[in-house]
Amino acid sequence: MFDRSGLPAAVTVYEVGPRDGLQNESVILPTLVKANLIRHLVGAGLNAIEITSLVRPDKVPALADAEELLAELAPLLGKHRMSALVPNQRGLDRALKAGVREVAVFASATESFAKANLNNTVAGSLEIFRPVIKQAREAGLRVRGYISMCFGDPWEGKVSTNQVADVAETLFEAGITELSLGDTIGVATPGEVMDLLDTFDDRSISRSLLAVHFHDTYGQALSNTLTALLEGITTIDSAISGLGGCPFAKSATGNLATEDLVWQLHGLGITTGIDLQALVETSRWLSDKTGLPLRSKTAIALANQKDETR
């Protein structure tokens, strides 16, 4: 019999679809559609949502309306955990002006991805983040850190766990409050997830401060998630309908679908506070609005089941 004693009683599902998902899709949504998507997600019980990125509009056209979106969602910003990605001081200034209460910074574990995505070195990008994190914390904001390419890089291959932990230590020293470990191209396996977490233990970085962010390129996202849960991780990133991908790794599929994650968590008896049916309806609504196909296996199965009973 499967031993559930190591599983957490409750998990935070950290929704990244509105930012990480939409920025990598070909369809650019109107601001009001994005705002309604986020309202639907909140209505389904999601209380941790990354809603946009405050980068230069020409760099990420899909999120060029960040200020307009934040203004539209202003009544929700203080009531729910809603964050915005900031790449630099200018991004932080815009976030503070908009009333954001949590920001995120995005680092890389590898030099190749740092150059491709950040146009900098790993060390150089971390130095840019240091004053941003400091000012954000002084302003009372939570700061989430991301590390991309934690398990594999399309140019460099397998990534050493110590390489990832070195970047993590620098981010925590700078003052981040949570760190999300990204399997950006979806190559991780359960054994590698355990190895990375063991390395973090060796560096005395508490698992309570960590989140995991899996892509499903090799069909391992849910297996990796279960491993992380058994290893003490209680915050899991996912995207509604499996939105997203990686523009620098063409083989990478979208993020772990939130519907599939919630189906698994509820099946394990883990509390999420999320209404799965409302979440699936949101996924179908989004598909209708965007023309993008349903990618969540759970959403597809439940939709087919509903059609069969008509």
Q: Give CA angle at 150 (217, 34), nearest 5°.
A: 60
Distance CA 227, CA 310 (A): 38
Distance CA 236, CA 248 (A): 23
C-beta neighbour count of 206 within 10 angstroms: 10
Angle between helix 258-267 and helix 276-290 axes, rounded to 10 deg: 170
Per-residue pLDDT of the chain in tens (310 residues, 90 and over written 9) = 667 788 999 999 999 999 999 998 888 999 999 999 999 999 999 999 999 999 988 889 999 999 999 999 999 998 999 999 999 999 999 999 999 999 999 999 999 999 998 889 999 999 999 999 999 999 999 999 999 999 999 999 999 999 999 999 999 999 999 999 999 999 999 999 999 999 999 999 999 999 999 999 999 999 999 999 999 999 999 999 999 866 555 556 689 999 999 999 999 999 999 999 999 999 999 999 888 888 899 999 998 876 655 5
Q: Give CA angle at 195 (127, 215), nearest 5°.
A: 70
Catalytic residue chosen out of the listed positions 48, 126, 240, 246 = 246
Say if residues 146 and 180 touch (Cβ distance below 8 Å): yes
Strand partners, 158: 152
Residue 197's φ and ψ, nearest 5 degrees, are -65, -35
Say what the pLDDT of residue 1 is. 64
Which SS3 state, helix, strand or coil, does residue 211 take? strand
Amino acid letter, 158: K
* Of 250, 249, 272, the residue nearest 262 (C-alpha): 272
For residue 66, CA distances in Å to 58, 61, 137, 256, 260 come to: 12, 10, 22, 24, 28
Strand partners, 182: 213
Distance CA 93, CA 132 (A): 9
Model's pTM, two decimal places? 0.95
E-assigned strand segments in 8-141? 12-15, 48-53, 81-85, 102-108
Say what the pLDDT of residue 305 is. 78
Which SS3 state, helix, strand or coil, does residue 189 take? coil
**Can you read off the two tokens belonging to residue 144?**
């989430």
Half-sphere exposure at residue 173, Cβ-oriented, CA atoms within 13 angstroms: 9
Distance CA 250, CA 79 (A): 37
User: What DSSP element (H or E) covers 162?
Assistant: helix 161-174
| Active-site residue flag, 150 | no
User: What DSSP element (H or E) covers 196?
Assistant: helix 190-202
Say what the pLDDT of residue 59 is. 86
Which domains are assigned to the chain?
Answer: 12-308 (3.20.20.70)
Q: What is the gyration radius of the CA atoms in the chain, in angstroms?
A: 18
Query: Look-up: residue for tokens 């989430």?
Result: 144
User: What DSSP element (H or E) covers 16?
Assistant: none
* Beta pairing class for 152-153 and 157-158: antiparallel
